[in-house]
Amino acid sequence: MKFVTVLAVLALVVVATTGKRRRRGMEQALKMTAEGFAGAASGPHYFEQRLTHFDGSNEQTWQQAYYVNDTFWKGPESGAPVFLCVGGEGPAFDPSVTVDSVHCSNAVDWLEETGALFLAVQHRYYGCNKNATVDCPVNNFDQPTEALKFLNSKQALGDLAQFHQYATDTYKLDLAKNKWISWGGSYPGMLASWVRLKFPHLIHASVASSAPVHTKLAMPEYNDHVAFAFGLADVGGSDECVAAIASGHAEIGTMMKTDDGRKKLKDLFPSLPSADWLKTRANQAMFAGEGVAQFPAQDNDPSCTDPACNIEKICDMMATLETDHVAALAKVASVQAAWDKTGFFDLFAQTKAADELPAFWFWQTCAEMGFYQTCDVGSKCMYTQGLNTLEDNMGPCTTMFGIDAATVAENVNYTDLYYGGLHPSGTKVLWPNGEVDPWSTLSVLKSPGIEQPVLYVKGASHHFWTHVPKPTDQKPIVQARLAIRKQVSDWLSEP
């Protein structure tokens, strides 16, 4: 990617000015919204969406939410583009998405310069509230399998196509002049790429950041890549660190087999309910099958300040107790528990409350995606091996949704066939991925054809470049943002 190297010398100057423009634009948009003026960041707005795009006899509809930033919109006659921010798994959109977006800040930061219209479409399920009264295609989830049958990527793409028509009419857009660019990261990145590939007559180009478009049943690559990331010197890792983490977890696996070992683990990890709690395989898996502490690779942040909050800080801590790797792991877990707000260390967590929504993403893993992150014996996984298998991951598909293992496998295989996996057919899709990100192992790292370039961001975690820019961002992140702009600019200049 020659343009990354060429643009590197401009990075610091451009980011400084871009940051100032963006802050000014955010302030202007929020002020205009507060005062109720036209031409500002606003939402939610609603449009009537079909419940299903694949049953012509079903006339049911629902109200789908979208958000707008037209602060700098030059109007349809200007030929300015339309930036489509795709919703997906993760927190539901709110008005802040128009000025401060985790998945689409690349687009938000560029609005003043391009005069683009920014439209963010809420996903049909991930925007649901707990009572399923708004932003949701169904009214209740008493029968999850029935309620979730309209949750899949194909329906989501149909939503975007229908929204395209609605927005074109509402804003009097000219498809030839006002070219649409789709943006997203992770699952929204997958959708952003697929909406371009499936509807090239509607979407001019796409930036599909950290998009694992190769659907796969078992994904040992994920935890293998976590180990790879912890060995990277450019983010503070080392081979010695990986060996220490793996050795500690292997020893924990041995300790959990005896009464004396379990008692020692209870002393080292006070959050464990009891020593006897570790007697069952299920509890052993909960404790050590996916790591006894947090080992961020997908969300590694080199600028974080809490103890043991990133790869470098964890590896530094593992080195303080060179000969007792179990004690070192316990220390990592202890300091993380002091600032953790995710509930990672809450081993007493109960099943979801009665009014809580079903596990939308897990449904999609069973019905479409797979992505079961295993830690198999003999793999490179750093955790206690053999406690997190494909069977362990797939079991809930049957118990929760009545989908048997063979059907799950067929579903995942068909999704890959339908979209093309790592070899999708089409043009004008940019595939950025981060070196540290485990999801990159199932994303497009080698260009599948003409006008599908790849961008590999050294030292970067999961679509880190799509986040709001910060002064602490690594140089490769800054360069990636510039490279994305350069590529999209080139595509916008094409017919």
How do residues 118-135 score in pLDDT, each as one tens digit? 999 999 999 887 666 678
Mean pLDDT of the chain: 90
The type of residue at 14 is V
Domain parsing of the chain, residue ranges: 2-214+421-492, 217-408
4 pLDDT more than 80: no
User: Is the pLDDT at 18 greater than 60, yes or no?
Assistant: no
Minimum mean pLDDT among 99-103, 122-126, 380-384, 416-420: which range?
99-103
Q: Report which of residues 323 and 356 the model is more confident about.
A: 323
Q: Are 245 and 382 in contact (CB under 8 A)?
A: yes
Q: Using the predicted structure, report yes or no on whether residue 151 has a pLDDT greater than 90.
A: yes
Cα separation, 217 vs 237, whole angstroms: 29
- Could you tell me the two tokens for 308? 């043991």
Average pLDDT over every residue of 473-479:
96
The CA distance from 165 to 186, in Å, is 25
Exposed e or buried b for every residue in 23-42, given b needs 16+ CB within 10 A?
Answer: eebbebbbebbeeeeeebbb
φ and ψ of 430, to 5 deg: -100, 130
| Residue 202 backbone phi and psi in degrees, to 5 | -105, -45
Task: For residue 110, give both structure tokens.
Answer: 């560029």
What whole-number distance in Å separates Cα of residue 360 and Cα of residue 104?
22
The CATH H-level (homologous superfamily) assignment of domain 2-214+421-492 is Alpha/Beta hydrolase fold, catalytic domain (3.40.50.1820)
In terms of Cα–Cα distance, which of 396, 444, 389, 401 is closest to 419? 444
- d(CA 374, CA 287) in angstroms, rounded, equals 15
pLDDT of residue 455: 98
**208 phi, psi to nearest 5 deg:** -110, 85
pTM: 0.91
Nearest to 462 by CA among 421, 485, 433: 433
68: nearest Cα among 90, 89, 47, 91: 47
Dihedral sign, Cα of residue 260, residue 262, residue 264, residue 270 = negative
DSSP structural state of residue 342: S
| DSSP β-ladder status, 216-218 and 117-121 | unpaired
CA distances to 66, 80, 444, 495 from 204, rounded to whole Å, are 20, 13, 19, 9
Rg over CA atoms, the chain: 23
8 A C-beta contact, residue 364 and residue 151:
yes
Q: Does pLDDT of 37 surpass 90?
A: no
Give the pLDDT mean for 276-301.
97
Pairing of strands 61-69, 117-121: antiparallel
C-alpha torsion angle, residues 371, 375, 378, 383 (rounded to 10) = 150
pLDDT higher for 131 or 279?
Answer: 279
What pLDDT, on the 0 to 100 scale, is given for residue 274?
96
Tokens of 334: 């202890």
pLDDT at 130: 65
Per-residue pLDDT for 1 more than 90? Answer: no
Rounded-to-integer distance, Cα 290 and Cα 26, Å: 40
Burial readout 416-452 (b: 16 or more C-beta within 10 A, e: otherwise): beebbbeebebebbbbbbbbbbbbbbbbbeeebeeeb
pLDDT at 12 over 60: no
Q: What is the mean pLDDT of residues 232-243?
A: 97
CB-CB neighbours of 333 under 10 Å: 21
At a CB cut-off of 8 Å and minimum separation 6, what does 378 contact? 385
Report cis status (omega within 30 of 0) of the bond before 44: yes
Tokens of 220: 């040992």
pLDDT digits (tens, 9 = 90+) for 49-85: 999 999 999 999 999 999 999 999 999 999 999 999 9
Q: Hey, how many other C-beta atoms are within 10 angstroms of the C-beta on 143?
A: 9
354-405 pLDDT, tens digit per residue, is 457 789 999 999 999 999 999 999 999 999 999 999 999 999 999 999 999 9
The answer for residues whose C-beta is within 8 angstroms of residue 88's C-beta and 6 or more apart is 103, 123, 126, 156, 184, 186, 187, 188, 190, 191
Q: Using pLDDT thresholds of 50, 70 and 90, give the confidence band for residue 46.
A: very high
* pLDDT at residue 280 greater than cutoff 60: yes
* Residue 377 burial class via C-beta count within 10 angstroms: exposed 0-12, middle 13-18, buried 19 and up: exposed
CA dist 323 and 305 (Å) reads 26
Concatenated DSSP letters of 16-27: HHHHHHHHHHHH
Q: How confident is the model at residue 6 (pLDDT cuts 50, 70, 90)?
A: very low
Task: Give phi and psi for 180, each to the nearest 5.
Answer: -90, 135
Residue 24 has pLDDT above 80, yes or no: no
Q: How far apart are CA 477 and CA 297, in angstroms?
A: 16
pLDDT recorded at residue 39: 55
CA-to-CA separations, 460 to 297, 427, 433, in angstroms, rounded: 9, 25, 8
